[in-house]
Amino acid sequence: MALVLHAGKTNKNAFKALITAEYIGVEVKLVENFEMGVSNKTPEFLKMNPLGKVPVLETPDGPVFESNAIARYVARSKADNHLYGSTLIDYGHIEQWIDFASMEIDANIGKWFYPRRGFGNYLPPTEEAAIAALKRALGALNVHVTSNTYLVGHSVSLADIIMTCNLYLGFSQIMTKSFTSEFPHVERYFWTMVNQPNFKKILGEVKQAESVPPVPSKKPVAQPKETKPKAKDEPKKEAKKVVEKQPAKVEDAEEEEAPKPKPKNPLDLLPPSKMILDEWKRLYSNTKTNFRDVAIKGFWDMYDPEGYSLWFCEYKYNEENTVSFVTMNKVGGFLQRMDLARKYAFGKMLVIGAEPPFKVKGLWLFRGQEIPQFVIDECYDMELYEWKKVDISDEAQKERVNQMIEDCEPFEGEPLLDAKCFK
């Protein structure tokens, strides 16, 4: 008996098993005429998976459900293959990245994408948390694939198949170019994978999403339009039609009434400040000449020491910064994870030195008098830096602020390897 996969032709979770089958040379057939919501509700299907979830693999020894388990079964159905590596540590790393792909990538893409498609309640705070968690995961993946073509070893493994299929949903449905451009090595990895012959045979031509699906409408369910009076027996028929056609919409509407108003960020409750952060960011971006006379002077003219605070930071483990591109990627990942604070912060991060170990130092402008608590809670990189509040009455510290804003070189006697701005 051939392996039979019960799923639709566009199911990204089914793609995991189908691509795996291509790599090891076993036959997995998609069941014919599968219709989601119909085929998976039949008694025959529910015997294979009582929850009615898709996909399910039908094997000579019985059914297997859950897509990663199915992909593992297919991968192990032929002993002589490289999809699980060649050593015990390869196996461990492959399983590690499979879990990462499921819990950090797929789960957060789903929390972002599915509510926008109407599957579940759309809650802005939940979406923001999912996007922040996804960016953190993509940042970690970006660092790994900076120096690795594949997740484990020197060839495609099961981890690459599952990771790519999970990324496929994001790239094709919701992660636009403007979103993924923050993770250039993930982009390179994904497009390399989907253009491998065995991937391409199953996925076809992959195109990146051009826009994020809109937020579902919260308008109340439309009531039937008034019609001309009908015969006495007709109102009952009309009422029956409404009952038959409206339940799902009514249920959705009831669910959408449940979300509570989005809680305000504590920083939004602070007294108004004379400093308009976006005006400073525009001045910084648009100043091309006479930077000291225009941008730096403009900064201090705008700066509100009661509404904002300045902070120096320095990486605690500079002795570990022995590889230039790894150090720069480390800083890039930090800035990506700080995205949740973009409305309330401006930052400069400098990578300093001509030779390793390289020093990482930064300057940050935050709304309020302290580093925002939600930034400390959500951005784990914060604890990797020593933080010191700037005393603007100290002219030496004030001049250091000026030098960091304008990327002054040499900085503290050393050349700049890189300078990154968060704005």
340 near 409, Cβ under 8 Å? Answer: no
* Cα–chain center distance at 418: 26
Query: Is 222 a residue whose pLDDT tops 60?
Result: no
Query: Is 313 a residue whose pLDDT tops 60?
Result: yes
Give the mean model confidence (pLDDT) for residues 233-260: 41
User: Strands across the sheet with 62-65, in order?
Assistant: 28-30, 3-6, 56-59, 62-65
Query: Is 5 a residue whose pLDDT tops 80?
Result: yes
Q: How many CB atoms lie within 10 A of CB 322?
A: 12
* Cα–chain center distance at 401: 33
Q: How far is CA 296 from CA 205, 210, 412, in A?
A: 49, 38, 19
Cα–Cα distance, 386 to 338 (Å, whole number): 16
Query: Is 331 a residue whose pLDDT tops 80?
Result: yes
Query: Is 230 a residue whose pLDDT tops 70?
Result: no
Cα–Cα distance, 249 to 216 (Å, whole number): 12
Give the burial string for 44-63 (b: 16+ CB within 10 Å, else e): ebeebbeeeebbbbbbeeee
Residue 359 — φ and ψ, nearest 5°? -95, 140
H helix and E strand count, the chain: 18, 9
347 near 366, Cβ under 8 Å? Answer: no
168 near 205, Cβ under 8 Å? Answer: no
187 near 181, Cβ under 8 Å? Answer: yes
List pLDDT tens digits, range 140-186: 999 999 999 999 999 999 999 999 999 999 999 999 999 999 999 99
Residue 273 or residue 260, greater confidence: 273
List pLDDT tens digits, range 366-417: 999 999 998 998 887 898 999 999 999 999 999 999 999 999 999 999 999 9
Query: Is 258 a residue whose pLDDT tops 70?
Result: no
List pLDDT tens digits, range 59-114: 999 999 999 999 999 999 988 888 998 899 999 999 999 999 999 999 999 999 99
| pTM given for the model | 0.54
Give the mean model confidence (pLDDT) for residues 218-234: 48
Mean pLDDT (the chain, rounded): 88
H-run or E-run covering 363: strand 359-367
Task: For each of the domains in the chain, give its residue range(s) and CATH number, in order of start.
Answer: 3-76 (3.40.30.10), 105-203 (1.20.1050.10), 269-422 (3.30.70.1010)
Q: Exposure of 402 by Cβ count < 10 A (0-12 exposed, 13-18 middle, 19+ buried)?
A: middle
Closest by CA position to 100, among listed 108, 90, 89: 108
Query: Is 318 a residue whose pLDDT tops 50?
Result: yes
CA-CA-CA-CA dihedral for 333, 337, 342, 347, to nearest 10: -40
Q: How many CB atoms lie within 10 A of CB 341?
A: 22
Which residues have CB under 8 Å from 234's CB, separation 6+? none
* DSSP-assigned beta bridge partners for residue 386: 314
Closest by CA position to 54, among listed 44, 38, 66: 66
Query: Is 7 a residue whose pLDDT tops 80?
Result: yes
* DSSP-assigned beta bridge partners for residue 29: 4
Query: Is 312 a residue whose pLDDT tops 60?
Result: yes
52 near 45, Cβ under 8 Å? Answer: yes
